[in-house]
Amino acid sequence: MALNLLMLGPPGAGKGTQAERFAKAKGIPKISTGDILREAVANKTEIGLRAKAIMDRGELVNDEVMIGIVQERLGRPDAAGGFILDGFPRTVAQAAALDGIMTGHDPLIVIDIVVPEDELVRRLGTRTICRLCGETGPVGCEVGGACAKCGGRLVQRTDDNKAVVLERLKVYHRQTEPLVEFYRIRPTFRSVDGAQPPDRVAADLAAAIAAAAATGAAGVQG
């Protein structure tokens, strides 16, 4: 059974870091919508050119284009054995489209990483970024540490003041949190406590995914 994963969670929950870690451990691609959007534009694919035209007008890429880019990426051979989606879907409409893309494939496992809001505010207010490549440091990474991507020095982000952080969380609750309710009733949905140390979160995440995969396989066989 392919491990087709989707991780949900608010900004600062650590889902990107955990997704990267799990993807490497399992040898499946972590598919970031930001990365594949930039790749489609750079490669001048038909849908990439449409996305570029939209962005050049200063507009947000619409659902139709974003769904098309995700569908193309999930159709590549390296995703046949599973994948982890990062950053998609962001809305219930996109989630419904993803259901259509997944028709005929193994079930989608959905993990919601749950972290109290006061902890999210603390984490986001102390985030780091690499001064060389711009990579965001993992949750809890200290200023002055080395970037895992290029080895550059991590510095404090200047745009994560408390007002900005609270506004980002408001946007999440309004726009993206309904996805949790959309997926919650599914037998392959699980929640994980993201307020623990990263290694503990990783262990709980692996256990939740294994349990959800077993449930999904039983459902397919049934």
Report, as residue numbers or ranges, the catalytic residues: 15, 90, 127, 157, 168
C-alpha angle 142-173-136 in degrees, rounded to nearest 5:
25
Q: In whole angstroms, what is the distance from residue 32 CA to residue 51 CA?
A: 16
Q: In whole angstroms, what is the distance from residue 31 CA to residue 98 CA?
A: 14
Interhelix angle 63-74/33-42, nearest 10 degrees: 90
Nearest to 147 by CA among 131, 130, 134, 124: 130
Pairing state between β 108-114 and 82-86: unpaired
Nearest to 40 by CA among 52, 27, 26, 58: 52
